[in-house]
């Protein structure tokens, strides 16, 4: 092969590989493979409106919560999915303690690195479904809400919320699901639950307990005994990365 053809073939191959890697980065949801406790947590959503994934640090709580959120927002459920299904576009909120924390955890997981806008679309919400993004004022690179294309052809919406804003900011809308990443105060939890009552929606929480036996934890443990909620507590044998990796 003449040298010029050889170099053009190499460059085509390079471009194809680069494009392939880019598509993979923008479709991380397709690669999500839950470990058993994450899978049980998802599956419990088919029967329970309220769920808690309480586990140690860095074992994949936010990842698991983010993947489930991305599935409901897009309607892209994998073959192994046994949890709750929404066949139509959803309205949802996801939140954490402060604006900064929400940006650096929930937003990062769902949308991509907050500080690198070129990477928005490389989170768990597939890049090809990510629509209009509205920014929050007062916190650099923090997103207020995103629109997401749903498989049905409609559009889902996700708002990012914070506990520090107080219960009032959790009022107002009817929602299909609410995801609390990190433990929230009881009044905010109840407000989030109320948002989903009319739609028979779901609420789920993912956290490492730092407040001990708080009201929220206590309520879950009690209602779990009565079979009304699911608390997918971690057992040591479920840890996917026993060495913290
Ligand atoms: N099922 C999985 N497959 C592959 N990687 C996973 C899986 N679950 C978690 N991880 C990886 O584990 C790491 C920690 O995940 P994540 O941030 O969700 O943990 P966390 O429990 O929320 O941590 P923290 O206690 O800091 O809130 C991430 O790098 C994530 O990619
Ligand atoms: Mg986390």
pLDDT of residue 47: 95
pLDDT of residue 244: 39
pLDDT of residue 228: 61
Is 183 annotated in the active site? Answer: no
The first and second tokens of residue 16, run together, are 């194809």
Per-residue pLDDT of the chain (245 residues), as tens digits, is: 677 788 888 999 999 999 889 999 999 999 999 999 999 999 999 999 999 999 999 999 999 999 999 999 999 999 999 999 999 999 999 999 999 999 999 999 999 999 999 999 999 999 999 999 999 999 999 999 999 999 999 999 999 999 999 999 999 899 999 999 999 999 999 999 999 999 999 999 999 987 777 888 888 888 776 666 566 554 444 444 434 33
80 Cβ inside 6 Å of ligand 1: no
42 Cβ inside 6 Å of ligand 1: no
Give the predicted TM-score (pTM) of the model: 0.90
pLDDT of residue 231: 63
Q: What is the largest CA-CA distance in the chain?
A: 76
Q: Which atom of ligand 1 is nearest to the CA of 63?
A: 18
60 Cβ inside 6 Å of ligand 1: yes
Enumerate the H helices of 124-236 as residue ranges.
186-195, 215-225
The first and second tokens of residue 186, run together, are 């009881």
Write the DSSP symbol of residue 210.
S
Contact 34, 67 (CB under 8 A): yes
Write the CATH number of the domain with boundaries 32-243. 3.40.50.300
The residue among 220, 241, 244, 245 whose CA lies nearest residue 41 is 220
Domain boundaries, the chain: 32-243
């Amino acid at each position: 092969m003449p040298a010029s053809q050889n170099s053009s073939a190499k460059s085509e191959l390079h471009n194809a590989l680069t494009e392939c890697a880019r598509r993979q980065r923008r479709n991380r949801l397709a690669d999500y493979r839950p470990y058993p406790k994450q899978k049980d947590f998802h599956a419990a959503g088919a029967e329970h409106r309220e769920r808690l994934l309480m586990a140690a640090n860095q074992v994949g709580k936010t990842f698991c919560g983010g993947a489930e959120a991305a599935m409901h927002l897009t309607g892209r459920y994998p073959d192994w999915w046994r949890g709750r299904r929404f066949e139509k576009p959803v309205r949802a909120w996801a939140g954490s303690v402060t604006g900064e924390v929400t940006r650096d955890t929930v937003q990062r997981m769902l949308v991509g690195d907050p500080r690198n806008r070129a990477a928005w679309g490389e989170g768990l919400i597939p890049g090809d479904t990510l629509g209009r993004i509205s920014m929050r004022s007062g916190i650099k690179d923090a997103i207020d809400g995103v629109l997401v294309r749903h498989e049905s052809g409609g559009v889902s919406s996700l708002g990012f919320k914070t506990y520090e804003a107080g219960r009032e900011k959790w009022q107002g809308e009817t929602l299909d699901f609410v995801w609390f990443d990190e433990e929230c105060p009881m009044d905010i939890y109840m407000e989030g639950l109320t948002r989903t009552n009319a739609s028979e929606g779901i609420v789920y929480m993912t956290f490492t307990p730092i407040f001990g036996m708080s009201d929220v934890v206590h309520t879950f443990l009690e209602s779990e005994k009565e079979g009304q909620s699911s608390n997918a507590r971690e057992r040591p044998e479920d840890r996917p990365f026993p060495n913290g990796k």
